[in-house]
Chains A and B, each alone.
Chain A
Amino acid sequence: MNLQGKIDRLRREIGKVIVGQAELIDETLVALLCGGHVLLEGAPGLGKTRLVRAISQGIDLKFSRIQFTPDLMPADILGTNVLLTEGEGKQKLVTFQPGPIFAHLVLADEINRATPKSQSALLEAMQEGTVTIAGKTYPLERPFFVLATQNPIEMEGTYPLPEAQVDRFFFKLVVKSPDLQDLKAIVERTTGDLDLVINPVLQRDELLSLQKAVREVPVASHVLDFAVHLVHATHPTSEHASPAVKRYVRYGASPRGAQALVLAAKGRALLEGRFNASIDDVSRVALPALRHRLILNFEAEADGIEPDALIAALIQQVRKEVAV
């Protein structure tokens, strides 16, 4: 079975348990193919945990879930050294007990409820791909994929992620509430006696190959120009910035955002069975790749301006400026 076929089958398997979130599934798969981490934001009960679990089942990856609470300690995430008695002589040995982070697919539920110290432990592992405990570094097995969730409703008593930490996530996906038909389907599937089983479609090695192939997807120069112009236009001091950007944005996207944009476009193209990234691919991945990288000012908060609206306007503007 070719790549496109496997991708389509994976979508169908995941779609067994996740209803009406096709775009969310594709974006999650794109991030997975690009080797990036995802920050999911949505109200409780929308299937964020189920999505991650379904993906892990469809790709046959080791899955772990971490429920972040205010009393969560970094050792609870990373692991710790324990003193164990082993052998006939009852020798006591210090053994490292890996934490839940040592998995392929990690669900960090309500990451904003944990203390900054615990958040940093996770984010460091996300960035470095290793865990250092007591001076000893433990590599994390590839692929390593973290899906962190956030509840935007209950912000009291939480520790919002700092912008520098949010910037490490590849995508920020917004989980929307299902419409009427999707809600009906969800209820039908989950309140019956159907036992929905997700069959694995991709193996771990295949996923690694795909992740390598994504980086080899060709990108035309004008597509690259478009992506760079788009990121540059998010800065209020840029000559390409729109009046709205100059008015509402305090800081624009970093170079990490440009990397995410281009890589995501490649992954998007590969996911759709194409062998090149196009301007359309860049436009489609611009929102999840940049919405958490734009830091708005107080005037934007007062006027209720969302980053998505600014990015959508910038896409149209840059399309005209970089026209063929």
Chain B
Amino acid sequence: MISEAFASVLDRVGRRHRLLTLGALILRSLITGWLSASLFHFAFHLGWGKPPAGLVAAAFALGGSAAYWHGYRPPLDRVGVARLIDRRLDLKDRLATAIEWSERSSPLVSWLLQDAEQHARFVNPAAVVSLPKPSRSQVLAALLALVLSALLWTVPIPSGLLFRPLSSVADHGGAQTQDELLSRIAALRQQIAGMRSPELRRLDRDLAQLQAGLRDRSLPRDEALALLQHFERRAHAALLEQAAAQEDGGSLGLDRIQELAQRLTVVSRLEAAEQGAFSTGQPLAAGQVGPEELPPELIEVLRRIAEGDGSRQETGGPGAPHSGGGDDREGVAQEGAASRERSGPEAAAQAQSMPAEASEVADARRGPGAGEEGGASQTAAASALGASGEGTEQQGGSSPGGTGSSGTGGLGEGGSDPPGGIRFLEHVPGELGEGPIHMGQVNASVPAPSQGQGGAASAAAGFLAPAAAGEQAVSRESVPLAYRQAVRNYFRALEPAGGD
């Protein structure tokens, strides 16, 4: 048996060894956990994006736990402590051998025990288990690791290199949520609501469709955002153009002409005009209309329209009227205004603002002697397809100054002269659903081939260019965005191969 003094020395050394070992293990675990969290943060940020705080904490705990588990050693027993003392103080295994042989009786064992206790009396626990003194290289390595780990947290790191970022809409730099997109659409529609420009009205229709597509989730958010940005650019361009037109003052733009044409409710009948039965709201009879029969305001409007149409014809705008010779007769202009393209309460309200009088489009023949002189002419016509204003045709009007239009048949007595004159818009109030068929209008406008005087113009003259027709159809009608190209292709396919 060993003495109490000997045992006390062993216990003190063992206690100090346990404390220092545990402290070093905890410190090592903390450092390992910190490095693990730093590396995890860096790798996750690089691959996906900013990691959640919980995952970083889990990485810290995992790294620290692994280091603790790897470095954990069971505490030393007395024999282990004795060996530690023998090794640190170079006691030639005296203490360990004495403890192991303490239960045996032998002269040598007793001498050994005495010798061991003699040496144990002078054992200093601090000399056996001293605080670790890291070397210079270890200190530098620790500092370097600390600096690098700090850099992993502070240096800007590109994210999402390996995987798609969690939110792809954010890359578009625009709206991220559906509500934000809808808000932007509503704001844009409110901005252009007061505008009467056909372009802006078409844009409003498109925005309405986009809004519906977002609400019923039939349109992906990314595509909706791209469309919205496109519509915003269109609105901006249209507003700028409108503002420029207003500043210009005086000259009528194409949109303005269309707008005026839609507002006109004057329908002329040659017969009524001759009889002087013209009055506001009454259809004019077919026949010649003398300038003295028309109200001054209408003359002014028609003049302005004519001026605008003339400039367009000079530039060869689409839908220029057929500049035929004298053999050509102007056909009956197309039917009335394209109020069918409107739908909904907006259309109904606008329809109510106009006289809801059906009217015929009549040709006003030019008065005799009227030549193709410059000057004002009373022309007011717009084709029913003239949503883009391209169908505007000018016909000679019975004005003193003659007409400036070209390509229109002049007035003439009898049926041989191509009908010239003025065509007026026919406003047809729009309503949802299938409307009545205006058979009477068709019959009046297009006489039977056996009765008619022949086509005023060639069949080809009655058609717009297929591309233009397709564009007009797409713009006028409420065609969903996904089907617009199909409509355009349809109209292009109608293009005649050649001639009539």
Binary interface profile of A, 206-228, with partner B (CB < 8 Å = 1, else 0)?
A: 00000001001111111100000
Chain A residue nearest to B88 (CB atoms) is: A324
B109 within 8 A of A: yes
A276 within 8 A of B: yes
Which of A252-287 touch B at CB < 8 Å?
Answer: 269, 274-281
Known: A216-B108, A218-B112. A276 touches B98 (CB 8 A): yes
B199 within 8 A of A: no
Q: Which of A213, A221, A222, A324 contacts B108 (CB 8 A)?
A: A213
Contact between A220 and B92, CB atoms less than 8 A apart: no
Contact between B108 and A218, CB atoms less than 8 A apart: yes
Known: A213-B108, A220-B100. A276 touches B84 (CB 8 A): no
Q: Distance (Å) between the CB of B92 and the closest chain A CB?
A: 4
CA distance A276 to B114 in the complex (A): 12
Q: Which of B84, B87, B100, B108 contacts A275 (CB 8 A)?
A: B108
Contact between A223 and B97, CB atoms less than 8 A apart: yes
CA distance A324 to B87 in the complex (A): 9
Known: A275-B108, A275-B115, A324-B80. A218 touches B101 (CB 8 A): yes
| A279 / chain B contacts, CB cutoff of 8 Å | 93
Q: Distance (Å) between the CB of B1 and the closest chain A CB?
A: 15
Known: A275-B108, A276-B112. A218 touches B87 (CB 8 A): no
CA distance A281 to B91 in the complex (A): 12
Known: A324-B80, A324-B83, A324-B87. A278 touches B93 (CB 8 A): yes
B154 within 8 A of A: no
Contact between A221 and B83, CB atoms less than 8 A apart: no
Q: Which of B84, B92, B109 contacts A274 (CB 8 A)?
A: B92
Interface residues on A, range: 10 to 19
| B87 / chain A contacts, CB cutoff of 8 Å | 324
Chain B residue nearest to A280 (CB atoms) is: B92
Contact between B93 and A275, CB atoms less than 8 A apart: no
Chain A residue nearest to B110 (CB atoms) is: A275
Contact between B111 and A275, CB atoms less than 8 A apart: yes
Contact between B92 and A219, CB atoms less than 8 A apart: no
| A281 / chain B contacts, CB cutoff of 8 Å | 92
B106 within 8 A of A: yes
| A219 / chain B contacts, CB cutoff of 8 Å | 97
Known: A213-B108, A275-B111, A276-B98. A222 touches B92 (CB 8 A): no
B264 within 8 A of A: no
CA distance A274 to B109 in the complex (A): 11
Chain B residue nearest to A219 (CB atoms) is: B97
CA distance A275 to B104 in the complex (A): 14
Chain A residue nearest to B115 (CB atoms) is: A275
| B100 / chain A contacts, CB cutoff of 8 Å | 218, 220-221
CA distance A218 to B110 in the complex (A): 11
Chain B residue nearest to A275 (CB atoms) is: B112
Which of B79-134 touch A at CB < 8 Å?
Answer: 80, 83-84, 86-87, 92-94, 96-98, 100-101, 104, 106-109, 111-112, 115
CA distance A218 to B102 in the complex (A): 10
CA distance A240 to B471 in the complex (A): 91
| B93 / chain A contacts, CB cutoff of 8 Å | 220, 222-223, 276-279
Q: Distance (Å) between the CB of A64 and the closest chain B CB?
A: 33
Q: Distance (Å) between the CB of A226 and the closest chain B CB?
A: 10
Binary interface profile of A, 62-77, with partner B (CB < 8 Å = 1, else 0)?
A: 0000000000000000
Q: Distance (Å) between the CB of B251 and the closest chain A CB?
A: 101
Contact between A274 and B80, CB atoms less than 8 A apart: no
| A217 / chain B contacts, CB cutoff of 8 Å | 108
Contact between A276 and B97, CB atoms less than 8 A apart: yes
- Provide 20 A-B residue pairs closer than 8 Å at the C-beta atoms, listed in order of the A residue: A213-B108, A216-B106, A216-B108, A218-B97, A218-B98, A218-B100, A218-B104, A220-B96, A220-B100, A221-B100, A222-B93, A222-B96, A223-B93, A276-B94, A277-B97, A278-B94, A280-B92, A281-B92, A324-B83, A324-B84
